[in-house]
Amino acid sequence: MTKLRFFLGLIRQLESASIELGLGSLTDSDRIVLIALWDVVDKKTYQSNLGYDRFAEMTEKQEIVVSRSQFFKSISKLEDLKLITRVGGSRSGTYQLREE
């Protein structure tokens, strides 16, 4: 029971932190896309190059499925929330992550 209590406490803290950061509206798919962007980010420039094919390959290994259309909806939502900005044009797969 101690491990379950610890796990549930972590979930509560994560939810609280996401609300404080203004990220309470993120769906599970949005979070998966954001984490994938972070996984391939250049730590010096905070730029991430991630197209759907690369994303699908990364998530397939973890048995996570996010459709192509959901991937792009999540990208748009992350842009709307100012968590990322697109670098190099509207069809570019390069994104600048917010540094704060």
In a domain, 68, yes or no: yes
User: Model's pTM, two decimal places?
Assistant: 0.86
Q: Is residue 2 one of the residues assigned to a domain?
A: no
pLDDT in tens, the chain (100 residues): 789 999 999 999 999 998 998 888 999 999 999 999 999 999 999 999 999 999 999 999 888 899 999 999 999 999 999 999 999 888 889 999 987 7
The CATH number of residue 35's host domain is 1.10.10.10
Domain extent for 84: 27-97
Question: Does 63 map to a domain?
Answer: yes
Rg, C-alpha atoms of the chain: 15
Assess if residue 66 is contained within a domain: yes
Angle at 64 between CA 31 and CA 75, to 5 degrees: 35
The total number of structural domains in the chain stands at: 1
Q: What's the Cα-to-Cα distance from 50 to each of 6, 19, 59, 62, rounded to whole Å?
A: 34, 26, 12, 17
Alpha helices in 1-100 (DSSP H): 2-20, 28-39, 52-60, 68-80
Which pLDDT score is estimated for 22? 84
In a domain, 16, yes or no: no
Residue 5 belongs to some domain of the structure:
no
The answer as to whether 71 is a domain residue is yes
Give domain status of residue 9, yes or no. Answer: no
Reduced to 3 states, what is the DSSP secondary structure of residue 23? coil
pLDDT on residue 61: 84
